[in-house]
Amino acid sequence: MIIAGQSRRPRAIDTAHRKPLVRWRFSPPPGFRFESSDVAVPIGDQEGFYVVEARRGDAVQQVWLNRTHIGLLTKESAEGLLLWGVDLRSGKALGGMSVDFLVGLHLLERKTDTNGVIVWRDMRTRPTFALAEHNAARAFVSILPQAPLPGAIVGMRLESAAVRAGSTVRFAGFARHRVGETYKLASGDVRVTLAGQGKTIAAATARLDTAGAFAGSIVVPANAAGDYAILASVAGGVGGTSLHVDAAGDLALEIRAGCPCDAARGVPLAFAASRAGAGVAGVPIDVEVVRTPHIVPPGAAEDAPRWGTTIVYQGTLRTGADGRAQLVLPAPTDGLDSTYGVRATTTGATATTRVAVPNARIALAVEPASPSADVGAPVAIEVRGFDPADGSPANGLAVRLRLSHGSTISDQAITLDEHGRAHAIFRQTSLGSNLVLAEADVDGHHVIDAATVVVEPSALSGSTAADTSDVTLALDKTRYRPGEKIVVRASAPGAVGEALLTLDGARVYTTRLALATRGEAAATLELGDPQGDVRVSAAFVRDGAIALGTAEVHLDGPGRARTTEITLERTAYAAGDAAHVTVHDGGGHGPATLVIRLADGRESGPALFDDAPAVLSSGGTSSQNPASESPAWHAYVAPESSKASDIFAAEQPRKVPTEPPSIGVAAPRTMLWRVDRGDAESFDVPVPREPGHYVLSILKISDDGDVGAASASFGVQ
């Protein structure tokens, strides 16, 4: 039993007084080990809702089957609801189908149009459940609540994600407020606060300029230490990020890494203890170094657990006469890239940093859609390729992908798209831990990244498989302006009937129904002026299920996240040169506020400029697909009196909850921080006089409301 509009766990259906349609027996494998048994359910072609109950002694479990030719797909957002009904046998839209929507305690009937679509626009009477009927078939979906769109948006980034107590941290950001269906430039003063442990410890005020941008600085108290929130409030909106503060009393610690370095020769680290700027000898420094065998991709969650993360050094160093101590981390032997999180502690002072040590100019990141999968379910893998120095995508790179469990191996060859990404699906998996390996050859170097996926019965893991449909979409251009048309070509091999193509954002803006000829469909969508996270979506019917795919639409126009790149006239400079920087963002949008930062490494999290514009994509459409190829609306249900857990007790693993060690945040030195106003598409930046590798980042906040960000790297010889 599922209760409409509730998030309670499903309850088993009492079958004691019901007459079974059919009974049958099978013999599971002997012994106390888990092996799946595929059992055919002999219900023929009859439609209806069935309870399949398995019994073995006192152990009882149920699973429910809704045998129906009705396929339902919903698209839900804060500003609307769309429901599509389709025949899962023919792939044809079900026009004129009756659908009852539960609103409060009442059922309201609606009919689908000729395209099988119902659009619900009155969000004051938002339904919580929908039950569709067509001939003898029924289908249902529980409609999820949606968060309202914010009245104001505030985005902010810091000069550095980690600072020392008593120092000053600079910030920059932008603010927009909602007028009608769009976000406009905000004006006035911005209140910036630094808060932690239940109180505000510092505050500052900044003024919004003609681009709705702000910049300033805030002083961190000398007695601060730990992680804090730095918040900006304006126009009724609040935005912010986190800040790590290293303790510093009369003694201060500093960590420096001698990188870029040759990973095969180890990673040199230098620690310095100082008082009033002078080195202090004989200071004991407790050092902990955590290694993760990956390069963290740009924009990825900083605190996400990563396979293989472990502590590689714990010890105490003592400073010499010059106040310095040295440590060389041994070279790893697994052939994988490395990111080291380094934390140093002494009485009254701490220091943290992060050191990335790639094996080539390109790094790979292999990211399973879920850390676990159900038995027999496909495994979806996302692969990213990027420059480890500045995060720019590695488009067109050929990558070899492997899923292995013991001697069972599956291989795929993929090519990264223009965003440095690729999606792959492995449909044959083995019970237990499966290793996912991505490999590529770059300039004679072998680049590898790895992750694991655990395949286990959902009764143990408590999870179900995600939708892993291999629907692909191609758009006629890489970027658009409001009012243009989008030519979409979608492909789902084996699909039949008709395909639903939509333009999704803060709501579903456009729908088109197209014939799926040999698994392909095409349509032209009127772009208009959509808001939010704008995507094109395509839904097909294949093998009696709905397959769904999406593609991001990059829009150039006022109040949007603008796709931006920067280029330098060369990648290596002499000390003291000036680097000429060109901004590529489509042009034609007038004056802007430009925040420029030059650092001796790639920033992370709170200081990463590249993902700041994404806050303008607030509001999007989520899809529910109960007729998907791998439905996820429930798993198993056990009656209260059942001893069903006994079935798996012998093989249930002993899981000890452990928190993977953190690699912390990056803390490179800032060589330049500059805030400019103007409309030039290029500018010059002075090159540091110290040899090394540097990352230039920009945050461009335009007077027409759009925001873009990009990074590039160069060397100084």
Mean pLDDT by 10 residues, the chain (717 residues): 63 86 80 65 83 85 87 92 96 96 92 96 85 93 86 93 93 92 90 92 95 96 92 92 90 87 84 91 94 88 82 94 93 90 92 91 90 78 91 92 89 91 86 90 92 70 44 90 94 94 93 94 93 93 92 86 91 92 83 94 90 87 85 66 58 50 86 93 92 93 92 91
Q: Where are the domains of the chain?
A: 152-246, 252-357, 363-456, 472-556, 565-602+668-716
pLDDT of residue 136: 87
What Å distances lie between residue 458 and 35, 403, 468, 584, CA to CA?
A: 13, 20, 17, 48
Return the HEC string of 168-219. EEEEEEEEEEEECCEEEECCCEEEEEEEECCEEEEEEEEECCCCCEEEEEEE
What Å distances lie between residue 170 and 545, 597, 636, CA to CA?
A: 53, 11, 53
Query: In b/e form, how buried is each residue of 539-578, taking b as 16+ CB within 10 angstroms?
Result: bbbbeebbbbbbbebbbbbbbbbbbbebebeeeebeeebe
Q: CA angle at residue 679 from 674 to 683, to 5 degrees?
A: 50
To the question of domain 152-246 being in CATH 2.60.260.20, the answer is no
The token duo for 460 is 């143990």
The DSSP H or E segment spanning 439 is strand 432-442
Return the HEC string of 599-629. ECCCCCHHHCCCCHHHHHHCCCCEEECCCEC
Which positions ≥6 away from 642 have C-beta within 8 Å? Answer: 12, 58, 59, 60, 61
N-term to C-term CA, the chain: 69
pLDDT of residue 651: 41
Of residues 362, 420, 372, the one with CA closest to residue 396: 420
pLDDT of residue 287: 95
To the question of domain 565-602+668-716 being in CATH 2.60.40.3880, the answer is yes
Coil, helix or strand for 649?
helix
User: Residue 192 class from Cβ within 10 Å (0-12 exposed, 13-18 middle, 19+ buried)?
Assistant: buried
What Å distances lie between residue 601 and 292, 335, 582, CA to CA?
A: 18, 23, 20
Rounded Cα distance between 543 and 496, Å, is: 9
pLDDT of residue 513: 96
The token duo for 474 is 């191609």
Q: What is the Cβ-side half-sphere exposure of residue 349, based on CA atoms within 13 angstroms? A: 20
pLDDT of residue 644: 65
Same-fold call for 363-456 versus 565-602+668-716: yes
Architecture of domain 252-357: Sandwich (2.60)
pLDDT of residue 89: 94
pTM: 0.82
Rounded Cα distance between 272 and 540, Å, is: 61
pLDDT of residue 712: 93
pLDDT of residue 158: 95
Say how many C-beta atoms besides its own lie within 10 A of residue 284's C-beta: 13
Which CATH number does 472-556 carry? 2.60.40.1930
The length of the chain is 717
Contact 516, 497 (CB under 8 A): yes
CATH topology of domain 363-456: Immunoglobulin-like (2.60.40)
pLDDT of residue 121: 84
Rounded Cα distance between 621 and 355, Å, is: 38
Say how many C-beta atoms besides its own lie within 10 A of residue 438's C-beta: 25
pLDDT of residue 457: 62
| DSSP one-letter code for 123 | G
> What are residue 268's DSSP bridge partners?
328
Coil, helix or strand for 646?
helix
What Å distances lie between residue 299 and 92, 302, 700, 712, CA to CA?
A: 40, 8, 18, 15
The separation between CA 278 and the C-alpha centre of its own chain, rounded to angstroms, equals 44
pLDDT of residue 605: 86
Say how many C-beta atoms besides its own lie within 10 A of residue 637's C-beta: 21
Q: What is the DSSP string of 558-606?
A: TTSBPP-EEEES-SEE-TT-EEEEEEES------EEEEEEEESS---GG
